[in-house]
Amino acid sequence: MNRTKIALSLAAAVVLIPLTASADTLETVKKKGELNCGVSTGIPGFSATNSKGVWEGIDVDFCKAIASAVLGDANKVKYVPLTAKERFTALQSGEIDVLVRSSTWTSSRDISLGLNFAGVNYYDGQGFLINKSLGVSSAKELDGATFCIQAGTTTELNLTDYFKSQNMEYKAVTYDTSGQTIDGFKKGRCDAVTSDASQLYGLRLKMDKPDSVMVLPEIISKEPLGPVVRQGDDGWFNIVRWALFATLEAEELGVTQANVDAMMKSDNPSVKRLLGTSGDTGKSLGLDEKWAYNMIKQVGNYGEMFDRNVGKGSPLNIDRGLNNLWNNGGLMYPMPIR
Amino acid sequence: MAIYDVKPAQPAPVNHHGVFHWLRVNLFKDVKNAILSLLCIYLLYLTVPPLLDWLFFSATWSGSQDEVTKDGARWIFIIEKFDQFIYGFYPEHLHWRPLFVAALTVAFIASVKLLKSIKLKIAIILLYPFVSIIFIYGGFGLEVVETDKWGGLMLTVIVAAVGIIASFPIGIMLALGRQADNMPVVKTLCITFIEFVRGVPLITILFMASVVLPLFFRDGLDFDKLLRALIGITLFQAAYIAEVVRGGLQAIPKGQYEASESLGLSYWQGMILIILPQALKISIPNLVGSFISLFKDTTLVLIIGLFDILAMVTLTNSDTNWLGYEVEGYVFVTFIYWVFCFSMSQYSKSVERRFNTELK
């Protein structure tokens, strides 16, 4: 549509203007007593509101974690729902302090938008949702399967590449919009659909019989999603990055929301450094020594956030997969706190 | 002497009155019409019963999600999320405030219609927006509710109402400015503004307001996102109102202008007492048309992350516990939009009748 194009190019032109945003985000946040956190306008499991109108999701939990690390209170967050088009400008203009909105970390965004990705809080990627009647358990057995695909998308491109590299073939039923594509799969016009894995699990629940379909374990593209901050404020960048690492480290060390008080007396030097009973990580970040304790006590470690919002404890029931810790076969590798 | 009674008239033959007559004249006049009628009846038969079945007979009206057994609409979703559709994120214990303003609005419309005294009317018209804003936003002892908590139908109505009310005087001034041949600077400015704004889609203006404007503000100067959108929408709507009113002004015969001048009225007196009442009266259908389209356009604010009722449907559908209820949500929103737009057009008809001096 022409209007959208004009609007988009305008937005793009604006995005390219180099900006000087406020220098000390930490100071600003402390002064406001509130963290302005950019979230989505509704992505199941990542950021959405429940029936009470309260924001929930793994991205929302990370906003809460930062707030409890910086301000000592997970509830001092102002959620700013942003569309995909305005999210980066909102960050650049200082409307938000951190963007946690399932944004893919790519070179072009990292380099030319005046932004920095502070890490990855969810490794997403293109996966497959198939009808169980197909009787396969791996993407490698999909030779000859029929796919519902949306024409002209990167997902289609990835699919073609993947099948070519595996020396397999697929039959395509092409649609114009994503809604039609899903509808086609629902009505049984094809054996499988492909999309970002995090969406496939939500899609599964929208089926008339969610148990008749399954998500295959293979991921064929890279969509690392992570929190974003403004470039040029290294102090704040450090805080967001190490908040993420600390929630992961907590999981690795077995520190949970339930046992964190008991862990304060632990002799394990790594736990002591994490919880601030020794060392001065908190102080060197410009935060309270109990910064990590506050996060874990009020929000939980990474594993707990994952399970609660997208994993076992949620209707989505997403497999940890790549988002498991490095010593459990995943990619989550927190840098050591010492 | 024979007395002749007037015999009562015989009823018309059966094929000249009643249902059969109506059917024959309207539906089965000739073969072509008969075929079309049968086709339409068949199409209605195909669509209406399943629709009614889905909407009402097989619908689930209460209970939890697990108890749904029928395959009709699951209205439990609407019931569960109803507050969010109407109030957005507005704090639950303060829901009475927007509700009160809604009641106030009804009273306001009624009093403007019923009251005789012009002075009282003007007082009410000036007071109403002020009171409404205080009740919805807060202040003066009421708890303040920031605009990012506003949403749902409440936001849709607020955006539309502010757009309509604020753009009206601006639009009239622009229309008069465009007609002001003796003030070339004003005229040029008005024409430039009108033509520029009308040449740009609303979505662009909203993008400007939400994405571009903040970049020019220094830190701390950033003002409310909703306010920015409201200003954008008001200016946009004003340009359209200006053109509608200009049409009305041009339809007034030159004699009326000359008459007002020969009575010794000043420009403003002539405009307010003679020209505008006539011009606005003939513009009513077009004005309301543009108001209705503004009401529907307000949903574009979802593109800048404001949650009007339509955006609320998308958001509530992202709740992992309530996935897959899009259809129910959209049907509900369609119904709400229809109720509002239809009421607006009915109200405009009644206003038109009231001001129609020619029949009196």
pLDDT per position as a tens digit, B242-254: 999 999 999 999 9
In tens, the pLDDT along A214-231 reads 999 889 999 999 999 999
Average pLDDT, chain A: 89
A27-46 mean pLDDT = 93
B274-286 confidence digits (pLDDT tens)? 999 999 999 999 9
Does the ipTM exceed 0.85?
Answer: no
Question: What tens digit of pLDDT does each residue of A158-193 get?
Answer: 899 999 999 999 998 988 877 788 888 988 899 999
Instruction: State how far residue A112 is from chain B, nearest Cα, in angstroms.
Output: 17
Mean pLDDT, consecutive 10-residue segments, chain B of 360 residues? Answer: 80 75 83 92 95 91 82 90 92 92 90 85 88 90 88 94 93 93 92 94 88 69 81 94 94 92 92 91 91 92 88 90 89 95 91 73
- Give B303's contacts (C-beta < 8 A, 6+ positions apart): A7, A83, A85, B203, B206, B207
- Cα separation, A291 vs A50, in Å, equals 28
Task: Specify the pTM.
Answer: 0.84
Q: What is the pLDDT of residue A100?
A: 96
Q: What is the pLDDT of residue B220?
A: 52
CA dihedral B292, B293, B295, B296 (to 10 degrees): 130
CA–CA distances in Å: residue A68 to residues A56, A75, A286, B217:
16, 8, 14, 29
Task: Identify the pLDDT of residue B360.
Answer: 47
The distance of B224 to chain A (nearest Cα, Å) reads 10
* Interface contact B323-A315, CB threshold 8 A: yes
pLDDT, residue B140, reads 86
Q: In this predicted model, which residue has the larger pLDDT, B224 or A213?
A: A213
Q: Do A53 and B89 touch (CB under 8 A)?
A: yes
Q: Do B211 and A80 touch (CB under 8 A)?
A: no
CATH architecture of A126-215: 3-Layer(aba) Sandwich (3.40)
Looking at the predicted structure, is the pLDDT value of residue A21 above 60? no
Give me the pLDDT at residue A6, please.
53
Q: Is domain A2-123+223-328 given the CATH code 3.40.50.720 in the classification?
A: no
Assess if CATH 1.10.3720.10 describes domain B77-352: yes
**What are the residue boundaries of the structural domains of chain A, listed by start?**
2-123+223-328, 126-215
For residue B324, give the chain A residue with the closest CA. Answer: A206
Domain spans in chain B, listed from the N-terminal domain onward = 77-352
Q: Do B89 and A3 touch (CB under 8 A)?
A: no
pLDDT at A187: 87
pLDDT, position A70: 96
- List residues in chain B touching A: CB distance below 8 A: 80-81, 83-84, 88-89, 92, 148, 201, 203-204, 207-208, 210-212, 214-215, 217, 219, 222, 225, 302-305, 307, 311, 314-324
**Measured between CB atoms, does A144 come within 8 Å of chain B?**
no
Say yes or no: do domains A2-123+223-328 and A126-215 share a fold: yes
Confidence of residue A20 (pLDDT cuts 50, 70, 90): very low
- Residue among B81, B59, B86 nearest B72 (CA): B59
B316 CB neighbours in chain A (<8 A) are 42, 49
Return the higher-pLDDT residue of A152 and B138: B138
Radius of gyration of chain B (CA): 27
Please indicate if any CB of chain B lies within 8 Å of the CB of A45. Answer: yes
| Contact: B307, A41; criterion CB under 8 Å | yes
Report CB contact under 8 Å: B210, A86.
yes
Mean local confidence (pLDDT), A307-322: 92
Cβ contact, residue pair B222, A43, below 8 Å: no
Rounded Cα–Cα distance for residues B160 and B341 (Å): 11
